Amino acid sequence: MPSMNSYDFRRPGCYLGESAAPNIINEEIIVASGAGVLYPGQILGKITASGKYVAHDVALNNGAQVAAAILFHKTDATNADAVTVATVNGPATINGNDLIAKAGIAAADLLAALNALRAKGMKVLPQHAS
């Protein structure tokens, strides 16, 4: 039996509270090949050169070190680019407890990521932020 990740049972958009209409805050995006399996609530960064998304990582220097979106659906981009949907702007209220950041991210880097999302109109509620 394959092992199950605790994120396997997340519903799409699980992090969203009140928001504008879904077609206003969400857009179709491309997750870059090699990004692996990502789950709803994953904080994403956007690669400047290609416009594709990967998991936000402050160690990168290709644009993806800045939080740019939140993944809406479970997406597998292990072996090929994957077309999916992400929340890219607000107005939207976000439950910070349902966001997924890179393991081991420093508190200051997580705060910077949440602030980058807030600047895009995604209000990550302080009482829910990690």
Q: What is the pLDDT of residues 96-108, one digit of tens each?
A: 889 999 999 999 9
The pLDDT of 60-87, averaged and rounded, is 97
Give the lowest-confidence range in 19-28, 55-64, 75-84: 19-28
Determine, yes or no, domain membership for 1. Answer: no
Could you tell me the sign of the dihedral formed by the alpha carbons of 50, 109, 118, 69, in that order? positive
2 pLDDT band (50/70/90 cuts)?
very low
Here the CATH number for the domain that contains residue 72 is 2.40.300.10
Query: Which pLDDT belongs to residue 54?
Result: 98
Determine, yes or no, domain membership for 115. Answer: yes
Q: Please provide the size of the chain in residues.
A: 130
Distance CA 87, CA 105 (A): 21
Domain count, the chain: 1
Determine, yes or no, domain membership for 69. Answer: yes
Determine, yes or no, domain membership for 95. Answer: yes
What is the model's pTM?
0.89
Amino acid in the structure at residue 84:
T
Distance CA 48, CA 94 (A): 25
Determine, yes or no, domain membership for 9. Answer: no
Determine, yes or no, domain membership for 8. Answer: no
22 pLDDT band (50/70/90 cuts)?
confident
The rounded mean pLDDT for the chain is: 89
| Structural domain that includes position 24 | 16-128
Query: Which pLDDT belongs to residue 127?
Result: 53
CA 110 to chain centre: 12
Determine, yes or no, domain membership for 107. Answer: yes
Helix (H, G, I), strand (E, B) or coil at 25: helix
Distance CA 33, CA 54 (A): 9
17 pLDDT band (50/70/90 cuts)?
confident
Determine, yes or no, domain membership for 4. Answer: no
